[in-house]
Amino acid sequence: MAMEIPAEVRRYWLPILLFTAGFLFQLLVLPRHFPPTHYDVLGIERFAPVERVVEAYERLSKEWLSETNHQPTVDIIKIRYAYELLTNPILKRDYDHFGLDEHMDVLERVKEQYQKEHFLKIDLPLLKDSVVSLTDDAFNVLTHESFMSAIAEEYPLIILVYSKGSPRCAQFIEYWKQISARLDGIAKTAMVEVGDSHLAGHFAEKGFSKQPFFRNGVPAIVAYPANCRSPSCYMRYLGGLFVDSVVDWVATSVVGLPRILYYSKEALGPQFIGKSGHHKVKVICFSSTGERAAPFLRQAAQEYSSYASFAFVLWREDESQIWWNSLGVESAPALVFLKGPGTKPVVHHGTFTKSEFTEMMEEHKHHELRQLRSDTSLELGCDARGHSRAGNDAAIWYCVIVAGRPGVELSKKRQILRKAQDQLIGGVDRSAIGNVANSVEISSAATALKDERLTFVWLDGEVQKQICAFYLATDYSGACGPRGFEDDNDKPEIFIVRFQRNATYEALKAEKKNNLMEALQGQQTDASQLVARYKGPDEIQEINRWISQIIKDGDSREIPYFISKVPDLVPEETSKEWLRSTKSIRSAGKSLKKNIGFHFQDYLTDPRIGSTLLMCGCISFGIIWLRNNKPTNSTQQEKAPKDKTKRPRPKLSTSLFGQPESIADVEPKDARQWEMSDSDSD
């Protein structure tokens, strides 16, 4: 049979629980988070000067040499460690101001090594000198005066808080040089020494005792974003002190650059090449180290988001044959540009600088056959509201378009049209050097292409279904419109659009620029357009011959100028939408879990917690005691004799008009009305 809990214990369970928690916190938890200081080990007051430290150590060392001394070796090691720490000016300064003790690993190692040995066998000194030596100009060491001007600049500022006497800082200096080099161009770096206690204390955390401290010691890293001009709006880095981790935190959380993901050989095709935009050049970086993308690569991914998609691949020797056969990559590091279906990958082996990468991106940012989109139509010269690539002086220009639904058939047509374009470009080059005998005949198309009056593009007929159907004069089927269920009727078509600009009409339009109705219509085109569809075979020579004939007729014939309402291109992916999606990326440097853990650790060091629990226990005990005694007093009052001389006052009923009725007006039950006889009748 289980032991029954006494009624008093069950009644006062809450005060008992609070009293127990308060006593345990004061006796067990709090002392563990406030261990004895090095001053306590020497038996002197805190922040005592070096002279008092030396006196206390000499007094204790004399006791070691006495024959009656039985002090354990571990205690002697603690005393010696405290003496060496507090007699070093830099280490004592760090310990007094911020509680920094960067040599605890040395103390633990020596205690374990000599705990069973005699104290005279200890190798002294315990602490070796490790001073951080650097030049202020090379590392941009801030002072209190230069700090405000540094955070007022437009660039983000990354600050390293370090100590000259910290061995961890001495080891991290080389990493800091690499971090500064990688952040060049996107953020500026600076350093603050803890000796400047006013400035370093600004970046330190403060607990319940108001004593500043660095939670993870030094070096510590803080950052001021570009839009931050106040000294208190900095961000604190809480991750590991590694070059790749720090650079990733700065690039992602401080600057706001996008991450470039790694893909395996199985996921590269379906997850990256298949899902990124059809109009974008695929930029694939092969890395042998597995490090995250450098900041200038992320910056390029942001700037060229409308033109290219970026991916990383980890190079493995067992997969080298696959990459050689598919992309022509021999080794890592390497950079690959995929510029459309059927094109040969452009491969660059070796490392490259930021300027070299920018030059490569400018050279390879376009597909060899570009896509006609809402944000590229004016640039390509395929928009009636704009002009040709040749400039405003060109009155007639042409745009050859292959339209269709994305798929195998459209890819084949794009390759054919791209090869036709390459043949015309090759014909122009051969004619420029005078090699006419071995080159194809220079046609009207080659001349127009050379003069930038001819452009080759492709159109997504599924997304741009309205303008596709307008040009082809057809319904939503074949090349235009969405693909239906089990619809295999993909028939991409090639057509050419002739644009003609009328200077007279533009002059009239300039005179009517203040006409409100003209501005609101927004559908009137600036150039006349004629469309011709290609019906011949899919042969490069036939396509170029057909294009040349169209251009020859279009340039020589007098065609009446007319305008028509052309459907607008549907806006597809834009750089602004892409940048807005990157803003949701957050760094994992300070998560909610870490925040909760840090605050919980801080509360364990608050001496007010135990007293608060004891006070709550007393208050709850008093409330329960008063509540239990209150019913007893009420029952005694109920048992008191009542005064019987007092009669209850009768209730007065209200009449129809709200006035109380008198007792005389009440008619008795079973009463009858007697008729009165007339006295005059007698």
Measure the CA angle with vertex 93, ends 92 and 99; round to 5°. 80
Q: Rounded CA gap, 167 and 53, in Å?
A: 23
Angle between the N-to-C axes of helices 354-364 and 295-303, in degrees from 0 to 180, rounded to the nearest 10:
30
The pair of three-digit structure tokens given for residue 284, joined into one six-digit string: 């694939």
Instruction: Please say whether the beta carbons of 278 and 618 come within 8 A.
Output: no
Going by DSSP bridges, is the β-strand pair 396-404/493-501 parallel, antiparallel, or unpaired?
A: antiparallel
Phi (first) and psi of residue 77, to 5 degrees: -65, -40
Please give the distance of CA 615 from its chain centroid, rounded to a whole number. Answer: 45
Q: Are residues 190 and 323 in the same domain?
A: no
Rounded to an integer, what distance in angstroms lies between the CA atom of residue 448 and that of residue 421? 12
Specify if 635 maps to a domain. no
Joined tokens for residue 522:
């927004």
Residues of the chain falling short of pLDDT 70:
1-3, 30, 32-33, 67-69, 130-138, 428-442, 485-487, 503-525, 573-607, 631-682
**pLDDT reported for residue 510:** 52
- Is there a domain that residue 485 lies in? yes
The CATH number assigned to the domain holding 423 equals: 3.40.30
Residues 314 and 403 both lie in one domain:
no
pLDDT of residue 621: 81
**DSSP symbol at 623:** H
Does 17 reside within a domain? no
Q: How far is CA 59 from the centre of its chain?
A: 58
For residue 437, what are the domain limits?
Answer: 396-510+525-556
Residue 484: its pLDDT value, please? 73
Q: Which residue from 537, 590, 575 is spatially nearest to 252, judged by alpha carbons? A: 590
pLDDT at site 154: 86
Whether 475 and 403 map to the same domain: the answer is: yes
The answer to whether residue 472 sits within a structural domain is yes
CATH of the domain at 88: 1.10.287.110
Neighbours of 506 (CB within 10 A): 12
Instruction: Check which CATH number belongs to the domain holding 231 and give it.
Output: 3.40.30.10
The amino acid sitting at 285 is C
411 and 539 co-located in one domain: yes
Domain-terminating residue out of 254, 279, 301: 254
- Coil, helix or strand at residue 255: coil
Name the 3-class secondary structure at 189. Answer: strand
Closest alpha carbon to 548 in 537, 561, 534: 534
Q: Same domain for 54 and 164? A: no
Q: What is the pTM of this model?
A: 0.73
Query: pLDDT tens across 306-338, in order?
Result: 889 999 999 999 999 999 999 999 999 999 999
Q: Do 285 and 244 have their domain in common?
A: no
Same domain? 215 vs 244? yes
Do 539 and 419 share a structural domain?
Answer: yes
Q: Judge if the upstream peptide bond of residue 219 is cis by omega within 30 degrees of 0.
A: yes
The DSSP output letter for 477 is S
178 and 310 in a single domain? The answer is no
Dihedral, 173, 176, 177, 180 alpha carbons, nearest 10: -160
Do 535 and 451 have their domain in common?
A: yes
In whole angstroms, what is the distance from residue 179 CA to residue 216 CA?
19
Pick the closest to residue 147 from 157, 134, 137, 133 (CA basis).
157
pLDDT at 581: 38
pLDDT at 320: 93
Q: Based on the fold, state whether residues 448 and 542 are members of the same structural domain.
A: yes
Picking from 254, 285, 314, the residue at the C-terminal end of a domain is 254
Residue with tokens 């009727």: 489
d(Cα 605, Cα 128) in Å, to the nearest integer? Answer: 32
In the numeric block, the tokens 């619809």 are attached to 487
Residue 81, CA atoms < 13 Å, CB-side half-sphere: 21
Domain-embedded: residue 277? yes
Which residues does residue 500 pair with via DSSP β-bridges, in sequence order?
Answer: 396, 528
8 Å CB contact between 400 and 394: no
Return d(Cα 455, Cα 370) in angstroms, integer. 9
State how far the Cα of 468 lies from the Cα of 482, in Å rounded to an integer.
12
**String of DSSP letters for 224-275:** E-TT--STT--EE--S-S-HHHHHHHIIIIIS-PPP--B--TTTIIIIIITT
In a domain, 76, yes or no: yes
pLDDT at 18: 82
Cα 335 to Cα 352: distance, rounded to the nearest angstrom? 9
| N-to-C CA span, the chain | 104
What is the tens place of the pLDDT at every residue in 380-419?
989 888 888 888 888 899 999 999 998 888 989 999 999 9
Tell me: do 330 and 440 sit in the same domain.
no
Closest alpha carbon to 550 in 453, 428, 432? 453
From 313, 320, 332, 331, select the one nearest 273 (Cα to Cα): 313
pLDDT value for 519: 46
Residue among 644, 605, 648, 555 nearest 210 (CA)? 605
When divided into structural domains, the chain yields a total of 4
- Cβ proximity of 541 and 436 under 8 Å: no
d(CA 527, CA 502): 7
Q: What pLDDT score does 439 carry? A: 43
**Cα–Cα distance measured from residue 41 to residue 344, given in angstroms and rounded to the nearest whole number:** 74
Query: Do residues 172 and 165 make contact, with C-beta atoms less than 8 angstroms apart?
Result: no
Q: Is residue 214 part of a domain?
A: yes
Q: Give a yes or no: residue 630 inside a domain.
A: no
